[in-house]
Chain A
Amino acid sequence: MATPHVLSSTTTAFRGELRAPEAQCLYCFSACPPENEFCCRGCAQVYDIVNARSGGAFFNLRTKLGSSSKPQTQLEFSAASDFSYLDSEEYLQNYAAENRTEMEFYLEGVHCSACVWLTEKIPTWIPGVASIQLNLGTAVATVRLKPGGTFQAVADEFLRLGYRPSPISSGVIEALQKNEARRHLMQLAVAAASAGNIMLLAAAIYAGADGGFVELFRWLSFLLYIPSLVYSAQPFYKGVIGSLRRRYLSIDVPIVLGIAMGTGFSIYNLLTGGVHLYFDSMASLIFLMLSTRYLLRRVNQKALIATSIVQFVAPEKVLRWSGDNTILSGSFTEVDSRGVVVGDVLKILPGAAFPADATILSGTSTVNTALLTGESKPLLSEPDDKVFAGTINLSHPLVVKVLAVASKTRLARIVKQAEDSLMSKAPIVQFLDRVGQYFVVAVVVFAAVGFYLGYRDAGDVVSAIERALAVAIVVCPCTFALATPLAFALAMKQGARDGLIIKDAETIERLAQIQQIYFDKTGTLTTGRLSVVRWEPLHKDAEMILRHLERDSAHPIAVAVRAHFSQLSDGTYDGLLVDEVYGLGVSAKINNATYRVGQLRAVDQTRRRFSDSIAVGVYRADTDASEQLLGVVEFADAIKSDAADTLAQLRQSGYSVGLLSGDDAAAVTSVAGQLGFASGSYFYEVSPEFKATKLRASALALMVGDGANDSIALASAYVGLAVRGGVELCARSAGVFAITDSLRSIVNLLTVSKETMHVIYRNLVFAVIYNVVVLSVALTGHLTPLIAAVLMPISALSVFLSTIIGTKKLRALRSVNI
C-alpha cells in the first residue's frame, strides 16, 4: 500500500543478482535474468525497431565497435504513476521555463545511445511535443511543448518506454552557470583568434618585413590585440577587483600587472617607433591562461552535477486528504508525492518518509531524523511538532499539514549549502589564492630589481623597462599555479567517476599519506540490509504462509523475505487480512487458525544456528491448542560482495586495516573472521567517542564509515570517508563522500591520490628549477622580452604535458575498474 513501486524494483534487482549474473541484455549488455533476452522494455522495443529499420546493420556495426555502455541497476515499473500534477498551475510555475513550454526531466535508466534515439523520437508519435533533447552525460532530457501539448503525456511515455522521469527545477543559479560557461568559451575563442592572427603578423616582422609593411603590421597587430585585451581578459580584471575589495592579492594581480606593463610599453613603442612590441606574447598569455581555466572549470562542474543528483529522497506515493478541510467528510487518496503543495493534509504511514516539511495535526509517533541531524535515536513527535522532508516516520500513522515543499524544505536548503561550500572551497580558487599571495610580491620585487639592474648596466630607461618586463613575463606563475590544480581536478574527476565525491584538494594531499584504514561494520563492510541466510521449513505450508504474511509489510524482515522468495505465489490467500504489530511481527487468520511470523519463543531458540543472526519463526495457533512451530528463518546483515577482495588488495598494498564497530561481540567477531581481520585489529561494542579517540591517536588514518553514526569518528580521522548518512554531516565531517555501495573504489582512490601528488611534486620541482634559471638569466640582462614571451608558454606547456602523461596511469586504471 505504501510504496508498491519501490518494493517491486528491489525485488527485481535482487533476482538479477541471485541468478546467473553473466546473462546479458541483447540490447544494452546490462545483466538481466537469463530467461529474458532484454533487461527492460525500452531495450526490447528499440532492438526490434532498430533491427527492422536498419536490416540488422546497426547491431553488426555495434558488435564491431564494442559497447561503451556501463551496466546499471535495472528498473521495472509495475504500476503507472500519475503525472497529472505536472501540468498543474503551481507546478508549472516552479519547474517550467520558457513561458511554461519547457521542462527538464532527470531520466532514471538512461545508459546507452539507443536511449537517446528512442526518447528524442517521442515527438513523432505524441502530439503537441515540439522537441525532446537528451543529454547522455547528465541523463537530463529537455522537453519543449507546442500549444496543446501536456507534460503529463510525455512523462507517461517516458515511463512506458522504461525510464522513470523526475522533473528538475531549473533555478536561476543553473541558468547563470550555463551562461557563464558559454561566456567563458566565447572569450576563449576570441583570445585564440586574436593570438593566432597576431602571431602570423609578428612572424612576418621577425622574418624581416621592411618598409611600409612593418608599420602596417605593427598597427594591425595592435588592432587585433584590442578584442583580446578588452573582452577576453575580463575575468582577470574582475578577479583583481574582487581580490582588492577583499584586501588580499590573488593570482590575477601579477597577470594583470604583466598585461598592463606589456601593453603600456608596447603602445609606447608603437607610437614612438620603438622596436619591440609584445602584443603577440600578451595575446597568447591571455589565451593560455583562459584555456587552462576553462578546462579546470569543465572538469569541476561534472563532479558537481554528480553530487546534486544523488539527493532524491522523497517517497513516490503519499496519502492526501481530499474533501473539505474540516476532516468531517472525505477520504485519503494516493497521489504522487511531487504533486503535494503547501496546505495539503497528508497521512504518513509507519516506515514512510515525509515528502515535505510539515506540522503534525494528529497522532504521536517516533521519527528517525538521521538524514538531517545524524541522530540515530528516534525522536518522539506529538501534535504541533514539526517534521521535516526526508526524515522517516517509524511507529504510528501521522496526519500532518504541509508547510514547505521542494526547494523550500530544510533538506533542500542544507543540500544547497553543501553545494555552495563545495563551490567556494573549489581547489583552484583556494590554491591560486594561496600561491598568488607570495607570487605577486615576488614578481613585483624581481621586476623592480630587473629595472634597477637594467638601468645600472645600460644607463637608459628603455632598456631598464625591457629587463623588468622580461622578468615579469618569464616568471609568470602559470607553470605551477595552474598545472597543480589541473592535477587535483583530474583526480577529483576520477573519484567522481568511481562514485566518490572528494571535498577539496587538501583531502587528496592527505589521502596520499594514509597508512592505516579503519572500517565501520554495519553499512560499510556489510550491506546494512538484512537478507535470509537460512530457511528451515518444518511443515509443507510454511513457505506459503511466510510469503503471504510478509507480502505487504515494509519491515526490513519482510523485504528480505520477498527478496529471497522472489516468485510471487498463486493467489490462494488473496485478500488476506494481515495484522502488523510493530516490534512483534505479523499475524493473520486463515481457516480458524491464527498464523504468526515473529520472534522465536524461548523453547525454539535452540533451532538457531548462527550466533549473529536475527531469527524469526513461523507459528500456527489453533483455537484450542498452543503455538506450533512451522519453520525458522534466520536473517543477517550480509557482507558486501567486494569487501573481501578490497581488503585483500589494501593489505597487499601495505595498509594496515582495522575494524571499529559498535555492534555486539558475536556479530563483529563473525564478520572479522570472514574478512580475515587478525585479533587485535578489530574492536566491538565501542562507543562513537572511543572510535574518535582511537582515530585521533593513530597518525595517518582513514576512517570509512557511516556519515550519520560515525560523524565524530570521521571528523577525528586524518581523512574521513562517509559511505552513507546525513547530507549535512557528510559535508561537515568527511573529506570524501561515497555515492556508491562499492568498496573497490577506495583502492582506486588511494592510488589516484598517490599518483596525483607524485605528479604535482614533479611539476613543482620543474617549476622551481625553471624559474631560478630563467630568472637569473633575465636579471643579468641576457634575456630579451621576446625570448621570455616564447619561453613562458613553452614551460607552461611542458608542465601541462607532464601532468597529462603523469595521470595516464589513472586513466588506464579506470578501464580496468569498469
Chain B
Amino acid sequence: MNIIYIIIPIALFLGGAFVVAFLVSVKKGQYDDLETPAHRILFAENFAENTESQKNTLEKSIREGALNGK
C-alpha cells in the first residue's frame, strides 16, 4: 500500500498541471468566443500552409471575382 505515497503526489501534480493549463488558456482569451471556432475548423484543412504561390493564386482569384462584378 506504500505505493499510495507515490501515486497521490503524482495524481495531485497532474491535476494541478491541468488546472494551471486551463487557467492560462482562459487568461489568453480562448474561452471568450465559443461559437466561431466550431465553424473555423471546417476551413482549416489545406489553407493553413499556404505557400507563397498559393497565396498569389488566392489573391488573384479574389481580385478577378471582384472585377467581374460577381
Contacts and interface: CB of A to CB of B under 8 A. Distances in A.
B42 to A, nearest CB: 6
A124 B22 contact: no
Contacts of A49: 58, 61-62, 65
A41 B26 contact: no
B59 A120 contact: no
Contact of A116 (B27, B36, B58): B36
Interface string A104-146: 0000000001101100110011000000011111000000000
A237 interface: no
Contacts of A52: 61
A438 interface: no
Interface string B17-59: 0110011001101011101100110110011001000010011
A44 B65 contact: yes
A182 B61 contact: no
Nearest to B35: A137
B68 to A, nearest CB: 9
A116 B65 contact: no
A182 B26 contact: yes
Nearest to B22: A189
B66 A124 contact: no
B6 interface: no
Contact of A185 (B19, B26, B61, B70): B26
Contact of B23 (A50, A53, A125, A189): A189
Interface in A82-114: 113-114
Contacts of B47: 53, 117, 121
Interface in A33-50: 38, 41, 44-45, 48-50
Contacts of B66: 41, 45, 160
Contacts of B29: 182
Contact of A189 (B19, B43, B61, B65): B19
Contacts of B1: 213
A182 B12 CA distance: 24
A599 B61 CA distance: 53
A54 interface: yes
Contacts of A124: 50, 55, 58-59
Contacts, number: 95
B8 A220 contact: yes
Size category of the binding interface on chain A: 35 or more
A182 B32 contact: yes
Contacts of A44: 65, 70
Given A53-B47, A117-B43, A189-B23, A135 B58 contact: no
A722 B17 CA distance: 52
Interface in A689-721: none
B70 A41 contact: yes
Interface string A193-221: 10001000000000000000100100010
Nearest to B29: A182
Nearest to A200: B11
A50 B58 CA distance: 10
Interface in A62-96: none
B18 to A, nearest CB: 8
A190 interface: yes
B62 A116 contact: no
Contact of A190 (B4, B19, B33, B36): B19
Contacts of B65: 41, 44-45, 48-49
Nearest to A126: B59
Contact of B26 (A54, A189, A224): A189
A735 B61 CA distance: 51
B35 A135 contact: yes
Given A113-B43, A178-B32, A48 B61 contact: yes
Interface string A170-188: 0000000010011001100
Nearest to A41: B70
B62 A186 contact: no
B36 A197 contact: no
Contacts of A135: 32-33, 35-36
Given A116-B36, A124-B55, A45 B62 contact: yes
A197 B13 CA distance: 12
A137 B34 CA distance: 9
A113 B42 contact: yes
A185 B59 CA distance: 40
Contacts of A117: 40, 42-43, 47
A125 B32 contact: no
Nearest to A54: B46
A41 B69 CA distance: 7
Contacts of A193: 15-16, 18-19
B23 A186 contact: yes
A580 B12 CA distance: 81
A54 B50 CA distance: 14
Contacts of A181: 32
Contacts of B4: 213
A185 B24 CA distance: 11
Interface string A344-371: 0000000000000000000000000000
Given A48-B61, A48-B65, A134-B36, 19 more contacts: A41-B65, A41-B66, A41-B70, A45-B65, A113-B40, A116-B43, A117-B42, A124-B50, A124-B58, A125-B58, A133-B36, A160-B66, A178-B32, A182-B27, A186-B22, A189-B19, A193-B19, A213-B4, A216-B8
17 contacts: A38-B70, A45-B70, A49-B65, A52-B61, A113-B42, A117-B42, A125-B55, A134-B36, A136-B35, A137-B33, A160-B66, A181-B32, A182-B29, A182-B31, A186-B22, A189-B22, A197-B15
